[in-house]
Amino acid sequence: MKNIKSIFRELIWFFCGIIAGLSISLVLYDILNVDLDLGVLAAGVVATLLAIYVVRMTLWVFKKAM
């Protein structure tokens, strides 16, 4: 039961990260006047997901260390 809850929580983080990546990328690309392309949009989403998981892992390490 604990594994199902943790998998569900990670899926929620993942899909919310994709939504946040799309929205942040669209706003920033509009400000910078970048031509939208599928590759450019995917790069923005991947960069946002990477940033989210780096912050989450850093906070997890600090939490375990204390």
- DSSP result, 11-36: HHHHHHHHHHHHHHHHHHHHHHTPPP
Distance CA 52, CA 16 (A): 10
DSSP letter (8 states) at residue 66: -
Confidence at residue 61, expressed as pLDDT on a 0 to 100 scale: 92
More confident residue, 45 or 1: 45
Cα 15 to Cα 41: distance, rounded to the nearest angstrom: 16
Query: What confidence category does residue 4 fall into, taking pLDDT thresholds of 50, 70 and 90?
Result: confident
Indicate the pTM of the whole model. Answer: 0.74
For residue range 21-64, what is the model confidence (pLDDT) as tens digits?
888 888 888 898 888 888 888 888 888 889 888 998 999 899 88
Predicted local distance difference test score (pLDDT) of residue 58: 92
Residue 1, pLDDT score: 67
